[in-house]
Amino acid sequence: MTIVQRPQFSLTVLVWCCIGGWILRSASEVQGLRKYSPSDMHRMRERVRQMFHHAYDGYLQYGAPYDELRPLSCDGIDTWGSYSLTLIDALDTLAVMGNYTEFGRVVQLLQDRSFDADINVSVFETNIRIIGGLLSAHLLSHHADLESMGLVKPGWPCEGPLLEMAEDVAQRLLPAFDTATGMPYGTVNLRYGVPYGETSVTCTAGIGTFVLEFGTLSRLTGNPVYEDVAMNALSALYKHRSPIGLYGNHIDVQTGRWIAQDAGIGAGVDSYFEYLVKGSILLEQPALMAKFLESKTSIDRYLKREDWYVWVSMSKGQITLPVFQSLEAYWPGLLSLYGNTKEALRVLHNYQSVWRQYGFLPEFYNIPTGEAGTNRENYPLRPELIESVMYLYRATGDPFLLEVGENILESIEHSAKTVCGYATIRNVLTHQQEDRMESFFLAETTKYLYLLFDPNNVLHNDGSIGSVVNVMKREDDATTEMHECVKSQQR
């Protein structure tokens, strides 16, 4: 399909294709002892599929139309915005697993969904989960044979009801970017804009995590405003880095003054680095990769300790918090995206050793003492570790990584499963459950597990033989939630 009405661009390889994949396969020694046959891989895929549908069916039966399922109470709860978050966020996983019948049913169901509501929402979460989910479903919709339902328009991928919904939501987030610096507020009201009296303090990730979704939206709609505001926010954040090249955790978006000055690669900062790398690939913007590599030089100098990363003062580089956070587990996957697989594998081994210690990753892990952080012993079914495992397996082919993926699946199945879903682990020491199942369990955790064991999935295509669709998540997702982007079949 030739697209002449939109700016030409190559939405390729957000994972291994142009900068990784089989071209950048590691020359390091294969470590896995067990070999996985095609039948083993099929068996693992089916186990992941069953896990997904147990949780998804539980959400439909007990949780919908609320944002999330409460897997112990077997009811629903609104958390991020009262917009059926799990249904939208998990939609593309249905397509990835080949359940196009249910995918089409939900797409049709969403046609009447309105976001004109007097509710305050997180700009960051709404972008990665709602806009990312809608764009992903839009880009996968042609695989589901939805033309007969009128859900794929002749002008696809530059037209379509899900694309229109994504743009509607993005329009409602734009007022957040109207600040003195161009860095966005953290909260908007979907109907009225930035709430009166809203704090101007936003975390670094909440500023630097828009360029994938907003860039994609601009390229598909022809409206440059989305990509422009996302790039302006990145540029403003870059200008406020410290003299030693580090970024703090929270900044005042009106004054540019850092409020929380701990620098790390985890919570509050993480997806900023992720989007520099993936945005560089997606939008063909080498300047973004240059910014990341500049940051990585400072990270390696001040944060890195024997393949662990600590938190330090952004101005002096002195250690402030010697912990590993579970959100940091995306880092090995990110390293693999530009071919640094040897370092990525070393870091992953550290993180995987924590998983083996507890059966899960605690939110905080004290590196010097080798213990889960006090009052931070929970594991909310996060996807970051399996995300890195999947990326690294695609880059190296090391069967050890399949073993890691199977161990992750076994832990979740054994200790997190409930009658109607899967529960957050309140304490990794006791494996006590908590009554919450966040949408990213269906949108990312199960999806990465499935893709790990599905080497022939359409998302592993490099785009050279057809029109779509390559992983970003992170993300993901890529995006920070794992949603996909399109490549024109003809350029």
Would strands 262-263 and 311-313 be described as parallel, antiparallel, or unpaired?
Answer: antiparallel
Instruction: Indicate whether 210 and 310 sit together in one domain.
Output: yes
Q: Any idea which residue has 């030739």 for tokens? A: 2
Q: How many domains does the chain have?
A: 2
Which pLDDT score is estimated for 32?
A: 58
Instruction: Indicate whether 307 and 327 sit together in one domain.
Output: no
* Residue pLDDT, tens place only, 347-398: 999 999 999 999 999 999 999 999 999 999 999 999 999 999 999 999 999 9
Question: 121-160: buried (b, 16+ CB within 10 Å) or exposed (e) per residue?
Answer: bbbbbbbbbbbbbbbbbbbbbbbbebeeeebbbeebbbeb
Question: What's the CA gap between 389 and 148, in Å, rounded?
Answer: 38
Which pLDDT score is estimated for 482?
A: 41
Q: Any idea which residue has 């359940």 for tokens? A: 99
Contacts of 456 (CB under 8 A, 6+ apart): none
Sign, Cα dihedral of 366, 370, 372, 375 = negative
Instruction: Indicate whether 275 and 341 sit together in one domain.
Output: no
Specify which residues 187 forms β-bridges with: 122
- For residue 37, being part of any structural domain is answered with no
Instruction: Indicate whether 218 and 235 sit together in one domain.
Output: yes
Question: What's the CA gap between 50 and 449, in Å, rounded?
Answer: 12
Instruction: Indicate whether 219 and 133 sit together in one domain.
Output: yes
- Reported as half-sphere exposure (CB side, CA atoms, 13 A), residue 265 has a value of 28
Question: What's the CA gap between 16 and 241, in Å, rounded?
Answer: 29
Question: What's the CA gap between 208 and 184, in Å, rounded?
Answer: 9
Which pLDDT score is estimated for 81?
A: 87
Which pLDDT score is estimated for 26?
A: 40
Query: Is the link from the previous residue into 184 a cis peptide, with omega within 30 of 0?
Result: no
Instruction: Indicate whether 216 and 266 sit together in one domain.
Output: yes
Q: How close are the terminal C-alpha atoms of the chain, in Å?
A: 9
- For residue 22, being part of any structural domain is answered with no
Instruction: Indicate whether 384 and 254 sit together in one domain.
Output: no
Instruction: Indicate whether 288 and 406 sit together in one domain.
Output: no
Which pLDDT score is estimated for 150?
A: 72
Check if the beta carbon of residue 384 is closer than 8 Å to that of residue 326.
Answer: yes
For residue 127, give the DSSP letter: I
Which pLDDT score is estimated for 29?
A: 43
Would strands 258-260 and 308-309 be described as parallel, antiparallel, or unpaired?
Answer: unpaired
Question: What's the CA gap between 73 and 418, in Å, rounded?
Answer: 10
Domain endpoint, select from 273, 289, 315: 315
Question: What's the CA gap between 359 and 404, in Å, rounded?
Answer: 11
Check if the beta carbon of residue 184 is closer than 8 Å to that of residue 123.
Answer: yes
Would strands 311-313 and 308-309 be described as parallel, antiparallel, or unpaired?
Answer: unpaired
Domain range for 262 is: 83-315
Contacts of 246 (CB under 8 A, 6+ apart): 263, 295, 298, 299, 302, 312, 314, 315, 317
Instruction: Indicate whether 101 and 179 sit together in one domain.
Output: yes
Instruction: Indicate whether 152 and 234 sit together in one domain.
Output: yes
Would strands 424-427 and 187-189 be described as parallel, antiparallel, or unpaired?
Answer: unpaired
Check if the beta carbon of residue 186 is closer than 8 Å to that of residue 203.
Answer: yes
- For residue 78, being part of any structural domain is answered with no
Instruction: Indicate whether 130 and 270 sit together in one domain.
Output: yes
- For residue 228, being part of any structural domain is answered with yes
- For residue 479, being part of any structural domain is answered with no
Which pLDDT score is estimated for 199?
A: 98
Instruction: Please list the active-site residues.
Output: 125, 270, 363, 384
* DSSP H/E element including 308: strand 308-309
- For residue 77, being part of any structural domain is answered with no
Whole-angstrom CA distances from 227 to 60, 164, 169, 210, 474 are: 35, 16, 15, 8, 17
Instruction: Say which CATH number the domain at 90 has.
Output: 1.50.10.10
- Reported as half-sphere exposure (CB side, CA atoms, 13 A), residue 372 has a value of 23
Check if the beta carbon of residue 462 is closer than 8 Å to that of residue 369.
Answer: no
* Cβ contacts of 373-379, under 8 Å, gap ≥ 24: 373/323, 377/426, 377/427, 377/428, 377/429, 378/424, 378/425, 378/426, 378/427, 378/428, 378/434, 379/326, 379/424, 379/425, 379/428
Question: What's the CA gap between 111 and 44, in Å, rounded?
Answer: 34
Domain endpoint, select from 291, 315, 339: 315
Domain endpoint, select from 266, 288, 315: 315
Instruction: Indicate whether 241 and 135 sit together in one domain.
Output: yes
- For residue 20, being part of any structural domain is answered with no
Tokens of 308: 């662990």
- For residue 181, being part of any structural domain is answered with yes
Tokens of 31: 């470590």
* Average pLDDT for runs of 10 along the chain of length 491: 36 31 38 85 99 99 98 97 94 95 93 93 97 95 77 86 96 99 98 98 99 97 98 98 99 99 98 97 95 98 98 98 98 95 98 98 98 96 98 95 98 99 98 98 99 92 42 37 39 31
